[in-house]
Structure formats: C-alpha cells, structure tokens
Amino acid sequence: MSAQVIDGKAFAAKVRGHVAEHVARLKEENDLTPGLAVVLVGEDPASQVYVRSKGKMTVEVGMKSVEHRLEADTSEADLLAVIADLNADPTIHGILVQLPLPGHLNEDLVINSIDPAKDVDGFHISNVGLLGTGQKSMVPCTPLGCLMMLRDHHGSLSGMDAVVIGRSNIVGKPMAQLLLGDSCTVTIAHSRTKDLPDVVRRADIVVAAVGRPEMVPGDWIKPGATVIDVGINRVPNGEKTKLVGDVDYASCAEVAGAITPVPGGVGPMTIACLLANTLTACCRANGLKEPEGLTA
C-alpha cells in the first residue's frame, strides 16, 4: 500500500487565496489594510529565510508587512519598547516575535508583552488559556495548519485516537488541545514516554513534532493511519544540505493511509495560517465579521 500524499503547498495556496479575497473586500468596503509586523532578534540565517518568505507572502495577499531586525545583543528593554510601539500602532493587527530568542532575553516575558489581540502566534498566556477552555482565541499557526489538513482529509475527527509526539508550547501542547477540541482521544508523548513505538502504533492520527530527523520509522505506524510531519530538520546531503521531517517518509508512506511531505506539508500551511490569523485579528479589532473557515 502507498499513502495518499497530503499536499500542504497546494492547500496553503488555496488558504492564501481566500485570505487575499477577503483582504481585497476589506480594502474596498472598509478602507482597511491588515498589517503584520515580524520582529527578528539576531542573525540566525534559517530564521531570516522564514522572515523573508513570510514578508513576501504577506504582501502577495495584499497586507502591509513590517520587519524589525534587531541586533543579537539587543536589551530586553529595547525589545519591549519595540513591541509597545507595535501594540499602540493602529495599522498593525498582528505581531510575531520570531523564536527562539537569544539566551539573555526572557521569552515568556517578551511574548506576554504582546497585546493578546495582536498575538497572531497564539503564544500569549491569555490566548493559551482561552484555547484550553474552548473559548475564542488566536490559535497557534502550525497546529492550526495541521488541523485544517486533518479536517480536510477526514471530515470529522470525532473518536479517533491521536498521538502527538512532542509537548512544546508552540506545537505539541496546542496541537493536542485542538485535537481534543475535535473530540479525538489524545495522547501526548515526549522524551520520557515509555514504549513510544507501542504508543504510536495505537494511533489513527500521528503528529510528529520532535525536532529529530526521520525519527519515526514505518513500523511504528498503524496501517492506514494519517501521519502529519511537523519536523523541519536541515541535514547534510553530499556537498549540500536538505530538509527532512521527523518521520522517515519512505517507510511511513508504505504503511500510512495519508502523509504530509517535508518540504511542502506543514510549513507552507503555517505561513498561510499566520496570514489568516492576521486577517482575523484585523476584523476583530474593527468589530467586523470575521472570515469563515480560517480559524479553529
């Protein structure tokens, strides 16, 4: 058997198309342009690539894109001052501070200084609390993108056994919340989980967010299960490097019913959901009806 490939790149283009249509209407009917600000501290080359492609796609859907590049040794006070300015700027509806931050900066403090209404990453404690209690919130982009692909593929997820490998605040935990919200029976696995292969073998849905290249082999996958690979790992490939996920694609694709590739799976959906969240934030900030189908 060979798995159906879930084409995140194509799905993301469709989502961005919906966003662009809505943005055009906002402009015409309300004279409003959603604005997204990305704050990058330091010079991490991989981060710069994400920031560049985010900026490009933001402009492509008709939004305003602002980038703040700060030196790696920027003080916490200076970073907080940049965020305070963006919080107060009525032309900015979404603020993303690229993680991880350099070690001398307190990530929790910085994230929680963002106006929760502009927190398009959904990392602010009040958005985390709202999501955990099933209230309207800003939903983290990567888990939201995974949920959209799962709903598109399965229709209802009700009653399915889902295993999320990874318990980070940015992927694993919010992913588990969303799956629970869709009535899956959810298991969260991590580095201390006993008998991980057996835990994963029970799953109808496997979401791998571990940060270890090709860690999940095909013989952990229940035949027919859906595999969502969140991992983005750059590994050596001859003279160059290549991107691989957290699952061993070749062996998993032989047993799974459906699988997301890397690249071209979760990554593009993350950026599409960031744009969707910025649009949603702009509508909410202006008391306008928000677009349907673009949030959880």
Ligand X SMILES: Nc1nc(=O)c2c([nH]1)NC[C@@H]1CN(c3ccc(C(=O)N[C@@H](CCC(=O)O)C(=O)O)cc3)C=[N+]21
Name the binding residues for NADP(+). 166-168, 232
Choose, from 118, 119, 121, 229, the residue flagged as catalytic: 121
Distances (CA, A) of 257 to 77, 211, 254: 50, 23, 9
- Binding residue numbers: 166-168, 232
Choose, from 98, 177, 229, 248, the residue flagged as catalytic: 98
Q: Which is nearer to ligand NDP, 64 or 212 (CB)?
A: 212
Among 3, 111, 114, 171, binds ligand NDP (CB under 6 A): 171
> Within a 10 A sphere around the Cβ of 167, how many other Cβ atoms?
17
What whole-number distance in Å separates Cα of residue 185 and Cα of residue 203?
9
27 carries an active-site annotation = no
DSSP state of 288: P
Give yes or no for a contact between 280 and 290, defined as CB atoms under 8 angstroms apart. Answer: yes
Q: Which is nearer to ligand NDP, 99 or 117 (CB)?
A: 99
Computed over its alpha carbons, how large is the radius of gyration of the chain?
A: 19
Exposed, middle or buried by CB within 10 Å (0-12, 13-18, 19+), for 28? Answer: exposed
| Among ligand X, ligand NDP, none, partner that 171 touches (CB below 5 to 8 angstroms by kind) | ligand NDP
165 binds ligand NDP (CB under 6 A): yes
Cβ 292 to ligand NDP shortest distance, Å: 24
- Contacts of ligand X in 184-243 (CB under 6 A): 232, 243
- Contacts of ligand NDP in 104-143 (CB under 6 A): 142
Among 42, 102, 211, 264, binds ligand NDP (CB under 6 A): 211
Distances (CA, A) of 114 to 54, 55, 59, 135, 190: 19, 20, 23, 19, 29
| Among ligand X, ligand NDP, none, partner that 49 touches (CB below 5 to 8 angstroms by kind) | ligand X
| Among ligand NDP, ligand X, none, partner that 268 touches (CB below 5 to 8 angstroms by kind) | ligand X
98 carries an active-site annotation = yes
| Among ligand NDP, ligand X, none, partner that 96 touches (CB below 5 to 8 angstroms by kind) | ligand X
Among 3, 105, 205, 271, binds ligand X (CB under 6 A): 271
DSSP for 190-252 reads -TT-TTHHHHHHT-SEEEE---STT-B-GGGSPTT-EEEE---EEEEETTEEEEE-SB-HHHH
Report the number of secondary-structure helices (H) and strands (E) in the chain.
Answer: 10, 11
228 binds ligand NDP (CB under 6 A): no
54 carries an active-site annotation = yes
Q: Which is nearer to ligand X, 70 or 199 (CB)?
A: 70
What whole-number distance in Å separates Cα of residue 176 and Cα of residue 198?
19
Query: Taking phi first (over 0 means left), then psi (-120 to 50 degrees means alpha), and beta for anything else, what does residue 82 get?
Result: alpha
51 binds ligand NDP (CB under 6 A): no
Give yes or no for a contact between 132 and 120, defined as CB atoms under 8 angstroms apart. Answer: no
98 binds ligand X (CB under 6 A): yes
11 binds ligand X (CB under 6 A): no
Applying CB under 6 A, the residues found at the interface with ligand X are 49-50, 96-99, 121, 141-142, 232, 243, 262-264, 267-268, 270-271
Residues that bind ligand NDP (CB under 6 A): 142, 165-168, 170-172, 189-193, 196, 209-212, 230-233, 246, 266-267, 270
Would you name the residues annotated as active-site residues? 54, 98, 121
